[in-house]
Amino acid sequence: MATGALVLPADSAGAGAALHVTHWLPEGPPKAVVLLAHGYAEHAGRYAHVAKRLTDAGYAVYAVDHWGHGKSDGEGGFVPRFSAFLDGMRELLTLVEVNHPDTPRLLLGHSMGGLIATLFLVERQDAFVAAALSGPAILPAEPPSRFTVWISRFLSRFFPRLGVLSLDATGVSRDPAVVAAYQADPLVYGGKIGARLGKEFMDAMAVAQADAPKIALPILIQHGETDRLTAPAGSRYLFANVGSTDKRLEIYPGLFHEIYNEPERDAVLDDLIGWFDAHLAGGTAS
């Protein structure tokens, strides 16, 4: 594992912010590079075990702590615009293109990172051979009322940092050790989601829903059936609406939100690596 930093450009919503980058490399030359987008409130370091499985299979893994997350600059629970997260992925892609110019690329996103990855595919699917999403946040767990939408926009404008929603950490995994480690992790944000981020989140989900047909890349969508933090219905919606002809949906019975941190993680990661392996045969990133 190695770390570094990226700086968001002047035209970014997070202009000048330094974003923490982590990458893991296999023993020999990587057969492909996986760009990883982590979920809300967490950080790339929580994916060391996923990276280990991928590097053992011959992949390099690059991940950035999103703006306001982990070791990156920014404010927890707040974002000026959702595009700041996309800007981080753009800079990460540029870094990978420089470091591994002739190596195929794959995209992996979890939860909010799944939403970020979906939006990024609409913009830059030409850069990847295939993609995989884990518990993507495409539809809210409970559809907001008209009043909720209105008040969220009001608060976003006038009280953007006001905390409006807390996440239930017990919904992360059925493994008590995972939940305890999540709650004890100093780099995991434990405060409330601010009004601006909540509004930006809802707007980003609406864009992802509308633009899903533009995605034609081979895509694997994985979701825990009993996920309480992101709606499995969102994964079903995405699967039904993406333009991809090569697509696969896996809904895992009984699993919670972080399917790569559930007791059945090995089988779930087998599905992920099997998908990536299958799409590297003769595949190249443009």
pLDDT (tens, 9 = 90+) of the chain, 286 residues, equals: 878 899 999 999 999 999 999 999 999 999 999 999 999 999 999 999 999 999 999 999 999 999 999 999 999 999 999 999 999 999 999 999 999 999 999 999 999 999 999 999 999 999 999 999 999 999 987 777 777 777 888 888 889 999 888 889 999 999 999 999 999 999 999 999 999 999 999 999 999 999 999 999 999 999 999 999 999 999 999 999 999 999 999 999 999 999 999 999 999 999 999 999 999 975 444 3
Is 140 a member of any domain? yes
The pLDDT value recorded for residue 286 is 39
Cα–chain center distance at 17? 19
CB 281 within 8 Å of CB 235: no
Structure tokens given for 210 = 């509308």
Phi, psi angles (nearest 5°) of residue 245: -90, -25
Is 102 a member of any domain? yes
Query: Nearest 5 degrees, angle CA 198-CA 7-CA 134?
Result: 45
Structure tokens given for 131 = 């993609």
The pLDDT value recorded for residue 140 is 82
Query: Nearest 5 degrees, angle CA 14-CA 133-CA 196?
Result: 35
Q: Which residues contact 45 (CB under 8 A, 6 or more apart)?
A: 22, 70, 187
| Strand 247-252 with 219-224, pairing | parallel
CB 11 within 8 Å of CB 64: no
Structure tokens given for 30 = 């990587």
Is 239 a member of any domain? yes
Is 189 a member of any domain? yes
Structural domain of 151: 2-280
CB 189 within 8 Å of CB 215: no
Is 285 a member of any domain? no
**Helices (H), ranges, 100-255:** 112-124, 146-158, 176-184, 195-211, 232-241
Is 286 a member of any domain? no
Q: How many helices (H) and strands (E) would you count in the chain?
A: 8, 10
Cα dihedral 221→42→169→115 (10° resolution): -30
Phi, psi angles (nearest 5°) of residue 34: -100, 120
Is 245 a member of any domain? yes
191-to-63, 67, 153, 180, 258 alpha-carbon distances in Å = 23, 16, 20, 16, 19
**What does the alpha-carbon distance between residue 62 and residue 195 come to, in Å, rounded to a whole number?**
30
Domain of 108, CATH number, reads 3.40.50.1820
Is 53 a member of any domain? yes
CB 129 within 8 Å of CB 280: yes
Q: Which residues does the annotation mark as catalytic?
A: 111, 227, 257
The pLDDT value recorded for residue 283 is 43
Q: Which 3 state secondary structure label does DSSP give 251? A: strand
Bridge partners, 224 (sequence order): 252
CB 19 within 8 Å of CB 4: no
The pLDDT value recorded for residue 282 is 52
Total structural domains within the chain: 1
How many beta carbons lie within 10 A of that of residue 240, not counting itself? 10
**What does the alpha-carbon distance between residue 92 and residue 89 come to, in Å, rounded to a whole number?**
5
